[in-house]
Amino acid sequence: MKLNFKQEVLVLPASVLSHLDAATPEQLRVLLWLASDLSLVSKHRQLAKLAGCNTATAQNAVTFWCNCGILGEAGESVPTMATVSNEEVPTKKKLQRADELPNYTSGELAELLEARASVRVLIDEAQRILGKMFNPNDINIMVGMIDYLGMNEECILLLLAHCKRIGKSNLRAIEKYAYAMDDKGINDVESMEDEICTVEAMHTFEGEVRALFGMKSRALTSKEGKMLSAWLSFGYNIDIVRMAYEITVNATGEPSLPYTNAILEKWNANAWKTASEIEAGMNAEREKREGSANAQKELGNSFDTDDFFEAALQRGFRERSRE
């Protein structure tokens, strides 16, 4: 067996081993996090969140390791993040999310950018994509995406280009979007590309539907968003939706997303996917209704089955609206 260090290691004094029996699990977790980033020693609240304990316990853990001689004052030998070579400092592995991410000073950011060429390249390309110069807060966000969300540079650039296309250029908004992606387990290039394709298709489709239904700029309700997502999942483009829209307006006299949704759900249930399949299916149903109506008239019953079909559709629409 061997330890898989890859591009980085945590360095701890060997004397830690003599204190294992006395240390609590929380104290050990605090020490490991400090070995990954010693600046956490002054960020009690964040250190506590990462170590899974309260602030007082985290502070007591720091005191414990100081008393053990593992931690020392500035200028003394202290544990730090180290690499297996003297080359560029590598990107840290993904850390647990904390409510408060570290805020680097301008000096710390300068040192970080000096040590990590890949981050410098990322910042330059990100500025080009968004068409703006980054301030220290912006750079903090970019570093957080790498170190705390575990996204690599290519993944972040894909996300930035996507956000630019859909009108999101504020880095705080992009940061929240990145967190939402991470919460869904999307933090690699392949899954990011798949998600972006889905979101952009929905974004374009939503704009087309808004124009068709004469909707204003208000945000879609959750129910409306689910309807549009379902239409896309059925494989229906705006041309198919327009067919259902025209039937809706002819039947009700006004645009109605729920009514159109009822039509599209019926078409999908019948496996009518293309315009030709829909037209053929509707014609077949019409002929069936007309044949049934003629048969009824021959029996002396003048009941209009078209009225019955329309009443059934209206009833189904009302039931879905109540749901």
pLDDT tens across 76-92, in order?
444 443 333 344 434 44
What token pair was written down for 309? Answer: 């079909």
68 part of a folded domain: yes
- Computed over its alpha carbons, how large is the radius of gyration of the chain? 30
SS3 9: strand
Q: Which of 85, 109, 143 is the last residue of a domain?
A: 85
DSSP states along 281-314: HHHHHHHHHHHHHHHHHHTT----HHHHHHHHHH
Q: How far is CA 96 from CA 109, 145, 156, 284, in A?
A: 21, 12, 18, 59
Contact 44, 58 (CB under 8 A): yes
Among 109, 89, 102, residue whose Cα is nearest residue 40? 102
pLDDT tens sequence across 145-186 = 887 777 888 999 999 999 998 888 888 889 888 888 888 888
Q: Is the pLDDT of residue 322 over 60?
A: no
Higher pLDDT, 97 or 193: 193
Q: How far is CA 213 from CA 17, 126, 232, 249, 259, in A?
A: 69, 37, 17, 10, 12
- Give me the chain's average pLDDT, please: 81
Q: What is the mean pLDDT of residues 47-58?
A: 83
CATH number at residue 71: 1.10.10
4 part of a folded domain: yes
Q: Beta partners for 81?
A: 10
131 part of a folded domain: yes
Q: Which of 64-68, 240-244, 301-305 has the highest mean pLDDT?
A: 240-244
Higher pLDDT, 168 or 42: 168
Q: Any idea what DSSP says for residue 42? A: G
Among 212, 227, 90, 215, residue whose Cα is nearest residue 146? 90
Same domain? For 39 and 6 the reply is yes
Same domain? For 179 and 250 the reply is no
pLDDT at 313: 62
Same domain? For 225 and 304 the reply is yes
Same domain? For 55 and 111 the reply is no
Q: Is the pLDDT of residue 299 over 90?
A: no
Q: What are the backbone angles phi and psi of residue 10, rounded to the nearest 5°? A: -100, 135
**All residues at 6 or more sequence positions from 252 whose CB lies less than 8 Å from its CB, including other chains:** 259
194 part of a folded domain: no
Same domain? For 298 and 257 the reply is yes
pLDDT at 148: 77
Same domain? For 241 and 304 the reply is yes
90 part of a folded domain: no
Same domain? For 156 and 230 the reply is no
Same domain? For 65 and 119 the reply is no
Total domain count for the chain? 3
Same domain? For 81 and 106 the reply is no
Same domain? For 151 and 247 the reply is no
Q: Beta partners for 10?
A: 81
Q: Which of 54, 85, 116 is the last residue of a domain?
A: 85
- Residues of the chain with pLDDT > 90, as a percent, come to 28
Provide the pLDDT confidence category of residue 244 given band limits of 50, 70 and 90: very high
Tokens 């040192």 sit on residue = 111
Q: Domain range holding 277? A: 217-322
Question: What pTM did the predictor assign?
Answer: 0.49
81-82 and 9-10 as β-strands: parallel, antiparallel, unpaired? antiparallel
State how far the Cα of 316 lies from the Cα of 320, in Å rounded to an integer: 6
Provide the pLDDT confidence category of residue 293 given band limits of 50, 70 and 90: low
Same domain? For 71 and 105 the reply is no
Give the DSSP H/E element, type plus range, for residue 10: strand 9-10
39 part of a folded domain: yes
209 part of a folded domain: no
What token pair was written down for 272? Answer: 């009518």
Same domain? For 224 and 178 the reply is no
pLDDT at 238: 93
Give the DSSP H/E element, type plus range, for residue 82: strand 81-82
198 part of a folded domain: no
Q: Which residues of 128-151 are buried (b: 16+ CB within 10 A; e: fewer)?
A: ebbeeebeeebbbbbbbbbbbbbb
